[in-house]
Amino acid sequence: MNRKVSVAPMMDCTDRHERYFLRLISKNTLLYTEMIVDEAINRGDKKKLLDFNINEKPVALQLGGSSPRLLAEASKIGEDFGYDEINLNLGCPSRKVEKNKFGACLMKEPNLVADCLSKMQSETSLPVTIKTRIGYDDVEDYENLYNFISKLKSTGIKTFIIHARKAMLGKFTPKQNLNIPPLKYDFVYKLKKDFANEEIIINGGITSVDELKIHLEKTDGVMIGRAAYHTPYLLADIEREIFKNKNVPSRQDVIEQLIPYVKDELKKGTRLNQIMRHTLGLFHGQTGASNWKRYLSENMCVRDADVKKIDHIMDKIKYNNVDTSVGQSA
């Protein structure tokens, strides 16, 4: 699987509608689901939680949990639904996640994590990967990170996605954990040197193609998060410059291709705002971008949005003089 560039799993962001939208922009970027708890998959509405459009592929399922049995069962179910990879969340720092014993707090229990990964791999033929941080609380020395990755490697795991910040458990909010702990890219670069035969993916604070190119010189791949959500047309730049794809759609093309999907989803009971909220940043940096965001916010990103307005959205783009060119994102 090509993991040169991927979009990070983000709660309340990378749902199936967002992934379909991003796939219209980029054919090569690997996409991830939001984190889904193993117990929810095993006991809940599997179709509601896991169903996705085949056009989203390749797409990876991220799981949250700490029960080897439940994680293994959820991995098998994910494979049956057609996902291309199973990823275990070892990086989320929220209090709620820690209370339920999954996410970054599991860095404290490498033996338990190893048991989980071994059991997961025994139940699925898909690649099992992990996403973690460089440390937690006052534990942020490279030796600890090296030992943690070594333990997980012993289970047969080949791909490690590293957010280059430590997690402050119970001290910062999730938002603060994305900004306050300093980035230590050198830790991830050193991991690649020390684990030359494993796939090391870097994540954290990466916002441009130029930055991405620098990281690709020292790691196997780059995972981008908030930049992909707030400025999604960044993926078009990545298609052109990283994947050398010359057939990149314009922003207008993306919306035109999204409309049939929206109409089909509306027939299934999906609300208009559930889809269109993901497109707010499509015209970021372009002339008329504020008009686009205002129109969506007032007409399509509200709970009781008039579904008929989707038929006139292209007219609104033209009326508000929104620049729809293929030019680079700001």
pLDDT > 90 fraction of the chain, expressed in percent and rounded:
76
Please tell me the number of Cα atoms within 13 Å of 273 on its side-chain side.
Answer: 11
Q: Please, what are the domains in the chain?
A: 5-235 (3.20.20.70), 251-319 (1.20.120.1460)
Task: Give the pLDDT confidence of 23-47 residue by residue, as tens digits.
Answer: 999 999 999 999 999 999 999 999 9
pLDDT > 70 fraction of the chain, expressed in percent and rounded:
92
Q: Report whether pLDDT(164) > 70.
A: yes
Q: What is the pLDDT of residue 185?
A: 98
The three-class DSSP label of residue 150 is helix
Largest alpha-carbon pair distance within the chain? 60
Token pair of 6, please? 């991927």
Q: What is the pLDDT of residue 116?
A: 98
Catalytic residue, candidates 92, 105, 116, 301: 92
Residues in the chain: 330
Q: Report whether pLDDT(203) > 50.
A: yes
Rounded to the nearest integer, the mean pLDDT of the chain is: 92
CA 119 – CA 89 distance, rounded (Å)? 15
Nearest alpha carbon to residue 2 among 21, 23, 28? 28
Please tell me the number of Cα atoms within 13 Å of 134 on its side-chain side.
Answer: 26
Q: Report whether pLDDT(321) > 70.
A: no
Q: Hey, what amino acid is at 60?
A: A
Q: Report whether pLDDT(327) > 60.
A: no
Q: What is the pLDDT of residue 330?
A: 45
In the residue annotation, 92 being an active-site residue is answered as yes
Within a 10 A sphere around the Cβ of 232, how many other Cβ atoms?
Answer: 26
CA 167 – CA 134 distance, rounded (Å)? 8
| Region 318-323 average pLDDT | 60
